[in-house]
């Protein structure tokens, strides 16, 4: 599978916990930031896309991450994002973060596009989002 997006994350003091390694919820913040930066570059950003597609948000349904090795202050992590699968109502993203060629995090997000129809929030059709991200 080809990687669809990269984001460099320089690990800073404030990302780390008293054990001196990255406090793990930060990895999820970076997954989210990677996806939103991708939206920015490919589709004008989350807000513009939501306006265009009459959606409330492109939010999370499922997520996960495992941590084969620790990362800490001063490390430069390269986070890669791959579009793993477009479902009819879901988009699955795969992430991998490496520091000097060593994998420190491997994870995924499953996202839906939430639309308000007849006064209720529902998972919208992903074909429109896919088209808006132009040929991804």
Question: Which token pair is 85?
Answer: 């699968």
Minimum distance from residue 136 beta carbon to a copy of itself (Å):
19
The SS3 of residue 25 is helix
Q: What is the DSSP letter of 70?
A: -
Q: How far is the CB of 30 from a copy of itself (least distance, A)?
A: 9
CB of 57 to a copy of itself, least distance (A): 4
Give min distance, CB of 103 to a copy of itself, in A.
13
User: Given the complex with a copy of itself, which of 2 and 13 has the nearer CB atom?
Assistant: 13
Residues that bind a copy of itself (CB under 8 A): 10, 12-14, 16-21, 23-26, 28-29, 32-33, 36-37, 40, 45-47, 56-57, 59-67, 70, 72-74, 110, 114, 121
Query: How far is the first Cα of the chain from the last one, in angstroms, to the nearest whole number?
Result: 13
In this complex, which beta carbon is closest to a copy of itself, that of residue 73 or of residue 128? 73
Name the CA radius of gyration of the chain, rounded.
16
Nearer to a copy of itself, 2 or 20 (CB): 20
- Burial zone of 10 (CB within 10 Å; 0-12 exposed, 13-18 middle, 19+ buried): exposed
**How many Cβ atoms are within 10 Å of 23's Cβ, its own excluded?**
13
């Amino acid at each position: 599978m080809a990687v669809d997006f990269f984001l460099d994350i320089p690990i800073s003091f404030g990302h780390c916990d008293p054990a001196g390694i990255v406090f793990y919820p930060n990895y999820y913040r970076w997954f989210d930031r990677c996806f939103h930066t991708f939206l920015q570059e490919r589709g004008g950003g989350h807000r513009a896309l939501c306006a265009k597609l009459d959606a409330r948000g492109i939010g999370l349904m499922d997520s996960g991450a495992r941590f084969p090795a620790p990362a800490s202050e001063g490390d430069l992590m390269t986070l890669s994002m791959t579009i793993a699968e477009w479902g009819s109502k879901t988009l699955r993203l795969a992430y991998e973060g490496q520091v000097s060629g060593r994998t420190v995090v491997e994870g995924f997000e499953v996202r839906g596009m939430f639309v308000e129809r007849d006064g209720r929030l529902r998972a919208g059709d992903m074909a429109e989002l896919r088209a808006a991200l132009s040929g991804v």
